[in-house]
Structure 1
């Protein structure tokens, strides 16, 4: 089996995996609406899935920060960004636990702490961010963020669905449209984040191999 054929096969398998992956948001929302018969409230399988995916995403970038100290400060900052989004998604939890709108305080503390920590080694952080945006997974990550922050918000606008359904307007339809696309965005982001782990882990292995070869050649 040639290297080219292996590469094509692996990419085809990856494509099949993506096809399966993008069905999960639909299956999750269907389970909420058709099996649990809910209106996709704050406490639903869909919302829990979004929070789990965000936890995996933030944890992935935190893990990369410990793979190699060269990446540490930069990926702490990136991880904190997704932890802030997670805190925002947990707003109802904080509303019930403390008071309405409390989520903003832990989010601000997380952001400021990460920013302060990252600027302690500005060159390290800048180099890491350069490698981060240069990585082939960055456009995929951006697509996921765009779906969450722009597409799902516009597609889920209540005024739009009022115009579509007029007097037959049902909030559940709006919720399905918005939450399905939002969960799709989080799924894409998590896919990119996990692939970042493989990418930077391979980069470290290559660097170690190069260093080892240089030492052997010098010896």
Structure 2
């Protein structure tokens, strides 16, 4: 009886944590728009939060890769995917530091290097990817990616907001809608990634 109660209690705590976590996109966007009075530019709390979440996500899978040699190659590949996303988010930094569109080159180098490295032990990589997609956190991760790659892009299309607001079109409204949903996606991704680290370590300790 007490075991069931503890399980339910922990799930309720987790639910409350999720509720709090879901406020982060709103807090970041509200701070940018209402406190800093900006148009959510590349250098904003919202963008910095997205980049930080991506860095933690990539680092989480990199951590597993370096602490478990059995699944090293596979998690290096997974980590590289999110590092490529991070490089893309840092496009403004690379534009100012080097030249416009430079982000493509470090992203390609990262992707090719990780793909080449992962093929050195194909069975290791395949087994890791199998465990990765089999984990309960994988669908949550996919939802976050879908929000970033599909929902936020479609929801933030200029043509849609021009049709909605007509002559009263204000870019800040469009930016708020797009950046809030995009940060929501990154929030879901970091939740899934951190949970995956704990889940993976628990399975290791059992084994």
Q: Structure 1: how far apart are the matches of 2:80 and 2:193?
A: 13
C-alpha deviation, 1:204, in angstroms: 1.0
Q: Structure 1: how far apart are the matches of 2:51 and 2:66?
A: 23
* Aligned counterpart, 2:4: 4
Q: Structure 2: how far apart are the matches of 1:68 and 1:200?
A: 10
Q: Structure 2: how far apart are the matches of 1:104 and 1:83?
A: 12
Contact 1:57-1:194 at 8 Å conserved across structures: yes
Contact 1:144-1:188 at 8 Å conserved across structures: yes
C-alpha deviation, 1:156, in angstroms: 0.3
Deviations 1:60-119 (A, max 9, x none): 000011221111100000000000000000000000010000000000000000001001
Q: Structure 2: how far apart are the matches of 1:72 and 1:118?
A: 9
Which ranges in structure 1 are unaligned for 5 or more consecutive residues? Answer: 208-219
Q: Counterparts in 2 of 1:1-219, with a 5 A limit?
A: 2-207=2-207
Q: Structure 1: how far apart are the matches of 2:177 and 2:148?
A: 12
Q: Structure 2: how far apart are the matches of 1:39 and 1:30?
A: 11
Q: Structure 1: how far apart are the matches of 2:3 and 2:111?
A: 44
Provide TM-score, normalisation by structure 2.
Answer: 0.99
Structure of higher CA gyration radius: 1
SS of structure 1 residue aligned to 2:206: helix
Provide TM-score, normalisation by structure 1.
Answer: 0.94
C-alpha deviation, 1:130, in angstroms: 0.2
Q: Structure 1: how far apart are the matches of 2:130 and 2:45?
A: 36
**After TM superposition, what 4+ stretches of structure 1 lie above 2 angstroms from structure 2?**
none
Q: Structure 2: how far apart are the matches of 1:71 and 1:6?
A: 32
Q: How many residues align?
A: 207
